[in-house]
Structures are given as C-alpha cells and as structure tokens.
Homo-oligomer: A and B are copies of this chain.
C-alpha cells in the first residue's frame, strides 16, 4: 500500500512539470536520443538529463546507452495507475451523486404522502 502510494506520488510529481510532459509527448511518437529531446526545450543538457532522471525514476520512460549515446523510450503502461486513480475518484463522486438522487427522490415521495 505504501509502495503503491509512493509510486503514484512519483508519477504525479513527474507529470507536474511542462518540460517533462513535453518530453513524454515527444517520446509517444517514438524513441529519441537525449540530445534530440533537449534541443526543442532550449534548456541545458544537464537540466534535461535531470528531467529525464525524474521520468525514469517514476517508471514513465526507459533509457539505454550505446557507446556515448543515451536513447529514451516511453513506457506507456506506466500511466495506468494515474488513470485508475482518476477512475476511483470518479466512481466515489458518482456514488455520492446516486445517494443524493435517491435521497431527493425519497424526499419527493415523502412530500406527496
């Protein structure tokens, strides 16, 4: 449970930065070298490397090194816990609306008696 919570915290933290989200969007179109990922950001390579580390620690991307070239690829199933969390929240909210509706219907019936 603690691990699960900690993992999803890492995921949300990784997604909270626009540069990291833009890297994910780029990688959704296919794997890329770190230098290719850094160019459009206008940031220094060390800064981009730090963003890549955060994404990798959250499990959102995987990287491989061949000689001096590091390439990154997206791990698409890594977003599943985020979607599950959203679905759980929506289910809780809808259950509450159902209870409110049932309550309102009962109040109407009682009013007619």
Binding site for B on A (CB under 8 A): 5-6, 8-10, 12-13, 15-18, 21, 24-25, 28-30, 74, 76, 79, 82-83, 85-86, 88-90, 92-93, 96
Q: Known contacts being A82-B86, A86-B83, A96-B30, is A5 close to B25, with CB within 8 Å?
A: no
Interchain CB contact under 8 A, A79 and B89: yes
List of B residues within 8 angstroms of A6 by Cβ: 18
- Pull 20 A–B residue pairs with CB atoms less than 8 Å apart, ordered by A: A5-B21, A8-B21, A9-B17, A10-B16, A12-B13, A12-B15, A12-B16, A13-B13, A15-B85, A21-B85, A24-B89, A25-B88, A28-B92, A28-B93, A74-B93, A76-B89, A76-B90, A79-B86, A82-B82, A86-B86
Residues in B with CB closer than 8 Å to A96 are 28-30
Number of copies: 2
A89 touches B5 (CB 8 A): no
**Which of B8, B17, B89 makes the CB contact (< 8 A) with A25?**
B89
Residues in chain B near residue A74, CB distance under 8 A: 93
In the complex, chain B residues whose CB is within 8 Å of the CB of A85: 15, 21
